[in-house]
Amino acid sequence: MANRGASSSSAPFTKSWKYHVFLSFRGFDTRSNFTSHLYSALRLQGINTFMDDDELRRGEEISSALLTAIEDSRISVVVFSENYASSKWCLDELVKILDCKESNQQLIIPVFYKVNPSDVRNHRGSFGDALANMERKYKDELDKVKKWRAALSQAAALSGFPLDEHRSEAELIHKIVQEISQRVIDRTYLYVTEYPVGMHYPVQDIIKLLDLGENDVRMVGLWGTGGIGKTTIATAVYNSIAHEFEGCSFLANVKDSKGGGLAKPQRTLLSEILGDTNLEVANVHKGATMIKQRLSCRKVLLVLDDVDDMEQLYKLVGACDWFGVGSRIIITTRDKQLLTAHHVNLIHEVRILDDPEALELLCWHAFKRSGPPLDDYVKLAERAIHYAQGLPLALKVLGSCLCGGSTEKWEATLDGFKSTKIQDVLEISYNALDHSVQEIFLDIACFFKGRSRMHVTKILVACDPNARYSIEVLVEKALISVEGDHIQMHDLLEEMGKDIVYLQSPNEAGRRSRLWSYEDIEDVLANNTISKLNYTCECVMFYSIQ
């Protein structure tokens, strides 16, 4: 990922908003009526709303408290009224709001309170008169007036809510509150990452490829090697644009669904978009037909994460005409040929972090700050970056492994690398674990990825009383994560864990400590090779017949 300026550690897709809504309005026109009623209605629905008071509006310049409130708000509701443009405060607020829309994907909802949207957009009537007065008053600051003009035109061009003498204020307020609740407040944002270094520009590039302003149906591919951040970037894009669609679904780890197993993600996709948790999919073929029939008139956002087989694309997103006008489908994969074969022509290649970004990410995980490292660690950090090869996963795991370590520990760990292959980098972190923690790691890799933390903990504690501690260690070392109540693990770490077990006996499954593959279990039971175990078989996964 190219280094294009300032660090993006506070990227918009992970921002924690202090307010749901910021109200921008001309107090003289609407403070004691429409805006105060809207504020009360929003608060009654549990929507945290910032509405300034007269104490903040003293002097010529907009206060820092107002600027901060705008930055900390997910949505700005701009109430355009007759005298809005006669207030320098309102115009400065509007410029700041549009800046935040550009940099943070904040939402703007314009309300046209007894004014014509065309007059606001084209600077006619009271808006034209007010801007002419501003030009005379600020004749030495015409660049500022130019920004005000542009801001009015841009904001008034957005889809909003008009209020004239024929419409009830109460009805309009109800619709605004409903819109904010349904499109944003009621949505659950997916977890992205703790330190989103180097992600801002890739996310912006993908949003440009998606081109939400076009009314076509568009598929965009994210292609790159494992551990490079495809899923993280796709999640950030999803969070940034999901409010634009009638329905959304993020299907993680699609590669884990093979053949008949695709009925499960089909059911998930349909139930999330249609809101029907009781929906049944009899088989994969019927599921594909249901997707085409039920979603062909809906504007939807779909993310298919980690696709590795054409059948997954055929049965989940067969063709553009399966979905309604304006729909967008994002596909992440390590195999570019899959995208080409499915006629996905818009492909974003996810690139490795450059050295400054890699250093920043390493420092966040190793030192809990953005850097630079202390003098004694500078050369060691450079070595670590070399081994990680710009891969975010490797930097995260390696930094967490080295966190709090002395220079001697760093030296010993880095000296243990055989190569710069990512599996070797990840295995160093595994080898540094105590044996009991290694065992819990293998259990999770083979059996419990994506399962409820409470459920997994109960099972593991029954075998090892210290399992809770081991799970905490794995979280601290970035070898697993807990998202909501579910234990997650990157697929490369899962592959590494399964490879470790597989290599216990490559040719005879019955000699391995864990059996999770249906084929291996069937072979061991059919041939009675369970008696030949070199290891005590700790766990076998059983499959239900559906």
Phi and psi for 288 in degrees, rounded to 5?
-60, -40
CA nearest neighbour of 159 among 124, 125, 110, 199: 110
| Residues taking part in catalysis | 93
Cβ proximity of 100 and 106 under 8 Å: yes
Cα torsion angle, 465, 471, 476, 479, sign = positive
Q: Which residues contact 488 (CB under 8 A, 6 or more apart)?
A: 449, 450, 480, 481, 482
- DSSP result, 97-138: HHHHHHHH--EEEEEEESS-HHHHHHT-THHHHHHHHHHHHT
Cβ proximity of 480 and 447 under 8 Å: no
Cβ proximity of 108 and 158 under 8 Å: yes
In SS3 terms, 237-263 reads as HHHHHHHHCCEEEEECCHHHCCHHHHH
Q: By CB neighbour count within 10 A (0-12 exposed, 13-18 middle, 19+ buried), where does 504 fall? A: middle
The amino acid occupying position 153 is S
**Which tokens hold the place of 511?**
């000699």
Q: What is the DSSP letter of 343?
A: T
CA nearest neighbour of 356 among 327, 390, 317: 390
**Which tokens hold the place of 475?**
């979280």
Q: What is the DSSP letter of 191?
A: P
CA nearest neighbour of 488 among 458, 443, 542, 452: 452
Long-range contacts of 517-521 (CB under 8 A, 24+ apart): 518/543
Distance CA 99, CA 110 (A): 15
**Which tokens hold the place of 6?**
């300032």
